[in-house]
Structure 1
Amino acid sequence: MIGRPDSSNGGWRSLTPDITPLLDIIFIVLVFLLLTANIPLQSLEVDLPDTDSQALTSVQDSESMTINMLADTPAWALDGEQYDNWDQFKVILESQISQLKDTDLVLASDKDVTVDSMLKLLAFLQEHQIAATQILMEDSQ
């Protein structure tokens, strides 16, 4: 016959479940969520044209400067002059900021260039208030 355990030897505790492992898991998940929830996201605002006709304009002006982003070394080029790394290229861009603001700027990128390279360049242009840029695209045929 099933009877009630004797309360004098602590037998009633054997009938209750042990929730210590459950509490451990809950606290681990809680700490994980608290640590990952406050990661600040960095964003770069880019204005894109509203219609396709605005986007597909050809470069006709000879007074434009071209910045090339290449997948291999050298990774950067300004009007055909190539540079190996970003720090070297950034110094050249800073020395020509007034020219970059006065002329049309064309960005030409290899299709295998990483997004990091493009974001470095766009962040530099935004930092120096250079807004008039065109991104060179290959005609889809």
Structure 2
Amino acid sequence: MRRKPRETITPDITPLIDVVFILLIFFIVSSVFKKEELALVLNLPSSKAQELEVEPKEISLEISKDKLAIYGKEVSIEELDLKLAEIKDKKKNIIVRIDKDVIYEKIVKVLDNLQKYELNNLSLVTKKD
């Protein structure tokens, strides 16, 4: 009795590789790359100052004529006070975007709140001239 040579059974992995590539392409195409969370449409004043890199862990504050936003979410002046009280790291950068038509009194109120919680590391954002 003669034995047949034993064949090794190997699974065909080509379909598996195809599925993996299709999933990879799906996730790349469907992912959203977050830029900045901005809640208000602002008309920023222009400046000739040099650009600074914005880090994602910075505090983003926006002020328009009738609205206020922190971290991309609209808040009232009282809610802003509560949000600022929650900040533990006093050396965090605060990126402030102020519409050029905002009255000075509103800006002073926000700056007073920042000073109250010793958040003094401010950067004012302008559009490039």
TM over 0.5: yes
Partner of 2:62: 68
Which segments of 5 or more consecutive residues in structure 2 lack a partner in the other structure?
1-46
Task: Give the length in aligned residue pairs.
Answer: 83
- Equivalent residue for 1:123, pick from 102, 105, 112: 112
Partner Cα distance (1:118, 1:59) in 2? 24
Partner Cα distance (2:50, 2:115) in 1? 22
How far residue 103 of structure 1 moved from its aligned partner, in angstroms, is 2.3
Quick one: percent identity of the two aligned structures?
A: 18
Query: Structure 1 length normalisation: TM-score?
Result: 0.51
- Equivalent residue for 1:111, pick from 100, 107, 111: 100
Query: Would the alpha carbon gap of residues 133 and 139 (structure 1) be closer, same or farther in structure 2, given more than 3 Å must change?
Result: same
- Equivalent residue for 1:135, pick from 120, 124, 128: 124
Matched residue SS, 2:127: coil
- Equivalent residue for 1:92, pick from 68, 80, 83: 83
How far residue 129 of structure 1 moved from its aligned partner, in angstroms, is 1.8
Which segments of 5 or more consecutive residues in structure 1 lack a partner in the other structure?
1-51
Amino acid at match of 1:90: D
- Equivalent residue for 1:80, pick from 65, 68, 72: 72
Q: Which has the larger radius of gyration?
A: 1
Q: Which has the higher helix share?
A: 1
Partner Cα distance (1:57, 1:114) in 2? 25
**TM superposition outliers: structure 1 runs of 4+ over 3 Å:** none
